[in-house]
Amino acid sequence: MNKYSIAIHGGAGTIRRETLTPEQEKSYLSALEEALDAGYKILEKNGTALDAVEAAVVSLENCPLFNAGKGSVFTADGKHEMDAAVMDGRHMTAGAVAGVAGVRNPIVLARAVMENSEHVLLSGKGAEEFARTLNLPFESEDYFYNAYRYEQWQQVKGEATTLLDHSEKKFGTVGAVALDQSGNLAAATSTGGMTNKRYGRIGDTPLIGCGTWADNRCAISCTGHGEYFIRAVAAYDIACLMKYKGCTLAEACRIVVQETLKQSGGEGGLVAVDQAGNVVLEFNSEGMYRGSIDAGGKKNVAIYRQ
CATH number of the domain enclosing 27: 3.60.20.30
pLDDT tens readout for residues 168-203 = 455 679 999 999 999 999 999 999 988 777 788 999
**Residue 9 scores a pLDDT above 70:** yes
pLDDT for 159: 60
Strands in 212-214's sheet, in edge-to-edge order, are: 212-214, 218-224, 268-274, 279-283
Where does the chain have alpha helices with state H? Answer: 22-44, 49-61, 106-116, 124-133, 141-144, 147-156, 226-232, 234-245, 249-254, 262-264
pLDDT tens readout for residues 109-161 = 999 999 999 999 999 999 999 999 999 999 998 898 776 666 665 666 656 55
- Name residues whose C-beta falls within 8 Å of residue 49's C-beta, 6 or more positions apart in sequence: 4, 43, 88, 89, 178, 179, 180, 184, 185, 186, 219
Active site residues: 173
pLDDT > 70 in the chain, percent: 91
The one-letter amino acid at 203:
G
- Residue among 215, 216, 190, 220 nearest 205 (CA): 190
Domain that holds residue 20: 5-304
- Name residues whose C-beta falls within 8 Å of residue 293's C-beta, 6 or more positions apart in sequence: 5, 6, 7, 36, 40, 299, 300
Distances (CA, A) of 5 to 64, 204, 269: 26, 25, 19
Strands of 142-201 (E only): list them: 170-171, 174-179, 185-191
**Residue 78 scores a pLDDT above 90:** no
pLDDT for 265: 93
Burial category of 183 from C-beta neighbours within 10 Å (exposed 0-12, middle 13-18, buried 19 and up)? middle
pLDDT for 40: 98
Top-ranked range on mean pLDDT: pick from 12-21, 43-52, 139-148, 192-201: 43-52
pLDDT > 90 in the chain, percent: 78
Do residues 84 and 109 lie in contact, with contact meaning Cβ atoms separated by under 8 Å?
Answer: yes
Do residues 234 and 252 lie in contact, with contact meaning Cβ atoms separated by under 8 Å?
Answer: no
**Domain count along the chain:** 1
Residue 88, strand partner residues:
93, 186
Residue 12 in 3-state DSSP? strand
**Residue 293 scores a pLDDT above 90:** yes
Do residues 72 and 166 lie in contact, with contact meaning Cβ atoms separated by under 8 Å?
Answer: no
pLDDT for 198: 78
pLDDT tens readout for residues 213-266 = 999 999 999 999 999 999 999 999 999 999 999 999 999 999 999 999 999 999
pLDDT for 42: 98
pLDDT for 138: 97
pLDDT for 14: 66
Residue 94 in 3-state DSSP? strand
Longest dimension (CA), the chain: 55
How far, in Å, CA of 212 to CA of 142, rounded? 29
Half-sphere exposure of 259 (CA within 13 A, CB side): 8
